[in-house]
Amino acid sequence: MQNRLWQADWSGMIEDGQSSKRPTRAIAAYHAIGLVQTGQLLENMFDIPYDFPDSPVRNTEGQNEYNLFEMDCNFYAGLTNAAYRCGMDHIVMNGPSLYYLKRMALCAILNNEENLADKYLALIGKTPFENDFVEKYKPMVSDRNLVEADDELARVLSLTPMESHFEQQYMQPAFLGYNAGLTRGSNPTLETAIAARLYSKDLSTCYDLIQSYKQLHNGVLPQPLQQVLTIMAQKNPIIQQAFPDIVNSQEMTLQSFFTAAKPIIDERAQASAGKSDKEKRRLRDVYNAKMREQLKADWLGTYYYYYYCENNDQDQIRPATKNENGGVN
């Protein structure tokens, strides 16, 4: 998927993600990048399962698979400074890498750092088979119009933060923490801000963003957003009043989901009765897995399935590191 990324083969990245039976976080991350670049994020981000397996990936710093995709995700979220920092950290700890040098060169170009960009392109140009890369991006160093005319880089620029904050102010990883904290923005940033909240299941701050999105899109909302509103309406009557047509049309589907899930929920409640807290936690994970298995065929692709079945086990939550107050899974 990283090879497809450099070829701007967004459709191929999406196909790779959707053909994976049990995507890892890295696969899900590159699938999301493909969706962002093709404008399909809110419509199709839940077409893959988020039942992440434990990754055996470790590097010399003892870090996990986030290192595989964090730089690229930061970059395509418009966080070029955070992406550059990821690249520099890797090179300092592990030595030069062409993959990271190329990404850092693009960060320098987007940040209007001409001298720095020239230095990276000169280094890259000394590597066999990289002339095409240098020839493509060298003219952009001094011509901003060429950057803005490039579809890939223009979309990255459209996501550039409008606020000036240090990266440390956001939950990590930055590409999720930044978007999860956005309360306003242009159409592209609205999409990523809503997507981050849906992924982290933080629906409490979604309402205003969805209202803004609806206004920008002539009242049309993707199915996942309609399903989010229906979930929110279960506890907040204001949502029902604000979006009556959407909630009414989705209500029967949500109740069908609850009907399918109820036998498993009842079985778990019966099995957990009188058990210790430790055993209840074990049974919770067992029945969460059972619910995913039994409902996946009919409900994967809906936000109902993701919200109630996925990304909710203890072993799927990224623990905070020594340098973090917390993180987004």
pLDDT of residue 322: 39
Which whole-number Å values give the CA distances from 195 to 19, 42, 44, 95, 321, in the listed order? 21, 6, 11, 34, 24
Q: Given a cut of 70, is residue 329 above it in pLDDT? A: no
* Token pair of 295 as six digits: 């409902």
Question: Which tens digit of pLDDT belongs to each residue from 217-256?
Answer: 999 999 999 999 999 999 999 999 999 999 999 999 999 9
Share of the chain above pLDDT 70, in %: 89
Q: Pick from 187, 237, 238, 246: which is nearest to 215 by CA?
A: 187
Task: Report whether 193 contacts 185 (CB < 8 A).
Answer: yes
Least confident of 80-84, 167-171, 231-235, 247-251: 167-171
Q: Pick from 11, 18, 6: which is nearest to 34 by CA?
A: 11
Task: Report whether 63 contacts 243 (CB < 8 A).
Answer: no
Sign of CA dihedral 256, 257, 261, 265: negative
Question: Which tens digit of pLDDT belongs to each residue from 271-326?
Answer: 999 999 999 999 999 999 999 999 999 999 999 999 999 987 544 434 344 344 44
Q: Is 207 helix (H, G, I), strand (E, B) or coil?
A: helix
pLDDT of residue 172: 82
* Token pair of 35 as six digits: 């969706």
Cα(112)–Cα(118) distance, integer angstroms: 11
Residue in the block written with tokens 């036998």 = 263
- Greater confidence (167 vs 35) lies with 35
- CA dihedral angle for residue 122, residue 128, residue 129, residue 135, rounded to 10 degrees: 20
| List of residues 6+ apart from 104 with CB closer than 8 A | 83, 84, 87, 88, 120
Cis peptide before 173 (omega within 30 of 0): yes
